Structure 1
Amino acid sequence: MNVNRVSLAAAGVLSALLLGLAGPVDEAHARSYTAVVKCAKVRISDNNAVDHVEGTGRGNTRPKAVTAAKKNANDKVGRGYRAKHCDVKSIR
């Protein structure tokens, strides 16, 4: 009887561990995407494009990765400029 209780308890613990570790995984939270965008660097004062800038971003969905990449590009351009007309170069 004591052996049956131990093996039943061990089976319960093992089942709980397996379900916790190998249970269903939500695809949106398990995957990470990296996006690269290329944007025109536009001078705000006269709205002229003067150069290009690339940005990289990560997210758990493709749109979030692209948004993060656009923000990264805009953060790189500096004061008096902004990143516009961004094209997605890659998403991995």
Structure 2
Amino acid sequence: MAEPVPPSFYAKVRSGPCVYCGAPGEHVDHVIPLSRGGIEHPSNLVSACGPCNHSKRSRLLWQWTPSKVAHAVESSPEVRAIWLADGSTLQSQLIAKQLSAA
């Protein structure tokens, strides 16, 4: 079981730019939502603006907006690590989503 994340860590994360679009951060997002098996741990917490946080909701990365996921993978070591941990599956699903939208 993960240790509780201190409020000071939440404040630090929230003060950064949104990893999904670069706007000012307002919220702390669980990259892998708690409802989808994510954990309450610094490696799963990133800054998100209100619109991105509300749009992502409880989606996994591959289920969400490809351009925002790409921005997060490029700008956030936490998101990049999660993406690469299951990269082949996530990338395949993301590519399929992009093709079906075209």
- Band of TM-score, shorter chain: under 0.3
TM-score after normalising by structure 2: 0.20
TM-score after normalising by structure 1: 0.21
Mark the structure with the bigger radius of gyration. Answer: 1
